[in-house]
Structure 1
């Protein structure tokens, strides 16, 4: 529903912002379906189903890494776009356009698809029953190889540490720029009527609120996972798994829950920060409720 509302373009946002929001909503939806539903639930409760065949299992694992990367780097791309819009006045005319946004998202998606190809070689069949490969587990040979260790560290950095740092830096620079601009604007408008409507300023204020809401929620919800990932990569290069009494395992799984929660939270942020998005959402809900109500009312009259 969020994706459909954003595609209609009636939320009072620029086309450039709408493109990034649609991309983030789509990647979040894919992450929920593939990671939360397929990987975490269906694989667990149906261990010998079609999903447990090794080729299918490998594809699911590959898609989990891709969807997670897309969700993260689409958020970074959106943060960078707003940074350029506010802080780079000369460059924003070329960058902050719908065409540039679509091109950038396509390039990011292609790079993520290529970057995660080694995941397909990092797993091996968990067991073989009647010449049929079932399940998939991390390959000790791959992890022990220099290529495998390099990929593990590179993946950890690219999915958590680098995006975390970039979002923090871009937002810090954006806040500084807004602070300086507000002081300058107040000085220039000292003798003007403060009640004059300023549609440009209002739109910028909404986009800034949206930016900070998405970025802060990302930082807060990914903080636990990023810290645990740093600790486990340093103290346990080969990682650990399945020790439910291990505090590091508990903390890491808590971080996994929180990072998936960020995918659920973004649509709530849209609704909380954008008035027109809430109006469009209410109109859709009314339409959904109206049709069954008319059908029931019509049947009662016929009876």
Structure 2
């Protein structure tokens, strides 16, 4: 965060001198700053604690999730398990490539200035955006799989299989890599450690060319704007089908007095539906600000507008978007009883081994 900013007394300062400096600046000029600037500087301070904490939590949490789901003892179908494992693996890569190798060096740029001499930023960008695209589109493919399972019983037996899920996940990964290879040519090899949407220096051609601007906007449309629309549409259709099916089944069972008749089929669907809606809702809520700020910043830049007005929104977008890489484990633990039990057993395992070792 070494971006220049004019202070309230007219002097130009440099952001990113450390936690204490930014805290002193905010407390000194707090009464003279606008509400927007107060939020912005507060977020800069919070990031220096938030990002390292998220990295410390994100890596083991996703590793544990992959291990538990891969054991196949959570009561989920092999098809669903494969989607969830793929989502956790993509999230783990995002934590490593985006959070640890991008955002933490930006926040602590004064300690990572040496990375400017490592000429691989454009390659890093391709890998990072491919992992992010996979994380997003794996969520879409999982949502579509559940839509088919719930709303299309005739197609379910052919589509909702382990083999089909493997083909779809592999196809999404290849297409994401092919789409994101364009970043290699849009960005320069050198790192640009600024608190800004770019972490690589942008080539002059890409910054000013309408062609490259269009390509970049297509990137934002494909990920994550299009997934937003698809997930909302699929969930809306799924809810509509569930409501119609529920009314039909109630009419079939007829009016009942006292206790409602037990419906095993609807009960078996309930956990799957809850899991689907919570994952989808989590994605939409935490990515919403990032989507809006990314598109706005690019349009504003190309039209020679100022991006300072949305600086704090951009920071919030990054913080919430990266949080999605650590929330799925919590979602599984809350919505899936067997996953919660497997998590407890896995956490108890090291303690059990230590106790046995001491008793010897």
Please classify the TM superposition score into its range, dividing by the shorter chain length: 0.7 to 0.9
- TM-score of the superposition, structure 1-length normalised? 0.87
Report what 1:287 is aligned to: 349
Report what 1:130 is aligned to: none
Q: Between Structure 1 and Structure 2, how many residues are aligned?
A: 285
Report what 2:312 is aligned to: 250
Report what 1:22 is aligned to: 85
Report what 2:52 is aligned to: none
Of the candidates 250, 253, 259, which is equivalent to residue 321 of structure 2?
Answer: 259
Please give the secondary structure, in 2, of the residue aligned with 1:66: helix
Determine if the alignment matches structure 1 residue 53 to structure 2 residue 126. Answer: no
Determine if the alignment matches structure 1 residue 204 to structure 2 residue 265. Answer: no
Report what 2:301 is aligned to: 236
Gaps of 5+ in 1: 128-134, 299-303
Of the candidates 92, 101, 124, which is equivalent to residue 165 of structure 2?
Answer: 101
Contact 1:34 1:64 in 2 (8 A): yes
Show structure 1 runs of 4+ deviating over 3 A: 42-45, 191-197, 238-241
CA distance in 1, matches of 2:268, 2:234: 20
- Root-mean-square deviation (CA), in Å? 2.2
Contact 2:122 2:189 in 1 (8 A): no
Please give the secondary structure, in 2, of the residue aligned with 1:187: helix
Gaps of 5+ in 2: 1-63, 192-198
Given the superposition, is the C-alpha separation of residues 188 and 197 from structure 1 closer, same or farther in structure 2, using an over 3 Å criterion? closer
CA distance in 1, matches of 2:84, 2:357: 35
Report what 1:11 is aligned to: 74
CA distance in 1, matches of 2:253, 2:94: 47
* 1:235 Cα deviation from its structure 2 partner: 2.9
CA distance in 2, matches of 1:239, 1:172: 39
Of the candidates 173, 191, 204, which is equivalent to residue 237 of structure 2?
Answer: 173
Alignment deviations for residues 81-123 of structure 1 (CA, whole Å, 9 cap, x no partner): 1111112222222111111011001001000010001101111
Report what 1:77 is aligned to: 141
Please give the secondary structure, in 1, of the residue aligned with 2:302: coil
